[in-house]
Structure 1
């Protein structure tokens, strides 16, 4: 059915047929037609090639995928912590309301990641300036999705600190003992 598949692709590409019409043509009474089955089988070829590459080829490919998955899981964990009111679940009666909630969550998440990135960079620069050994392997494992410093419960102030333009607040001394959780 390769010539038919090419004809469908060319028809969509040239705008002769709308994609919606092709989708309705590829199924009858909820079941795919022979052409629909052929297109689905063609799509499975690339999925199979990906799985074979993941299993058989290079271990760096698996490591890259694991790294990307870990980044995504870190982002999701941070989003769940920020959106703590209903256990990380969004409830709204209308689609528009859900879009607004997701948009605000994304904005707050991006602000937290930016804040964390700025302070991670400042902390690394301070450690290097003080002569602490900072290895590249350790730098590669730093993530802006850490959330141990986040306090999502309590009182918030939105007053800007009295800092010089472009300055950040003072960093904690790495040699100082950690503060107890009761003192925070």
Structure 2
């Protein structure tokens, strides 16, 4: 019987916002003049249509993806953006309405077949050196962020890849072929 790579609470953590420290807050949640122009209310955006894209704009470079629940962004980050945009804290945030626009502005792309193939090749080379699923996951996230590719969902990233990768690498595997259980 195969075991899961990540427990439910770990999956939930990987899909959401982590805690943010002061350095990350300053580095990722500071809007440039160009960012402000992108979020400008003159483009027909209401306050709720400005805070959501601002959170997404800052979150994508920070995490490499935007969590589904934008309203769960760290309160310090939302307060910083709200202050800079002169929008009261608590205005509604959106995710899907503006994510495509934000990724285009930041010159990021969605993970399509070509990017996933490149990721698979990247991970295959690392799987020959490492057996730790969490390390391989972290390396995958770093690779995607460096390539400016939005990280796909956790299950999509990992479902079935490591066993096939280990077989291709000529390494022993265990498990059912759809989940990774290190030997």
TM-score scaled by length of structure 2: 0.27
Structure number with greater CO (CA < 8 Å, separation at least 6) is: 2
TM-score scaled by length of structure 1: 0.26
